[in-house]
Amino acid sequence: MKFMMMLWVDESGEVTADEDADIMIAVKSWVEKMRERGILAGGGALRSAAEARIIRTRGDEVLICDGPFAETKEQIGGYSVLDCPDLDTAVAIAAAHPLARTAAIEVRPYWDAPWDH
């Protein structure tokens, strides 16, 4: 079963260069371990939310806004696609991610949609 693991980060948080380097080493180690176990099916880091656009189509009109405009400081800063047998396993994998100590992590199952085939 596939799960989307989204890393919600506070972009206003200040991190020193040394802290950032330590975090990246820990994240790379987690990624390697999950790949070796066959759990990590994909993923990546996202650029700043300030570079995002929100798109809505209403009738024939396309509305594009700078964004996102969530009522929160946290924005999605990265994601992983996990291939796990169940939600409990995916939650345990997410809890072991190094950023779980400083970010919120959302784990959500994929729909078995017809466009996946």
pLDDT of 37 reads: 96
Scored b (16 or more CB within 10 A) or e, 45-58 reads eeeebeeeeeeeee
- Cβ-based neighbours of 15, under 8 Å, separated by 6 or more: 23
From residue 19, alpha-carbon distances to 15, 23, 26, 47, 108 in Å are 6, 6, 11, 19, 29
Model pLDDT for residues 61-81, shown as the tens digit of each residue: 988 887 656 566 778 888 999
Question: 2, 32, 20: which is closest to 77 by C-alpha?
Answer: 20
pTM of the model: 0.76
Q: Where are the domains of the chain?
A: 2-112
Q: Quote the CA–CA distance of 72 and 99 in Å, as a whole number.
A: 18
Model pLDDT for residues 1-40, shown as the tens digit of each residue: 999 999 888 877 777 778 878 888 999 999 999 999 999 9
Strands 61-67 and 2-10 turn out to be unpaired
CATH fourth-level superfamily of 2-112:
Dimeric alpha+beta barrel (3.30.70.1060)
Stronger pLDDT, 35 or 110, i.e. the higher one? 35
Model pLDDT for residues 44-66, shown as the tens digit of each residue: 888 887 788 878 889 999 888 87
Q: Note whether 1 and 93 are within 8 A (CB).
A: no
Q: Quote the longest CA-to-CA distance of the chain.
A: 50
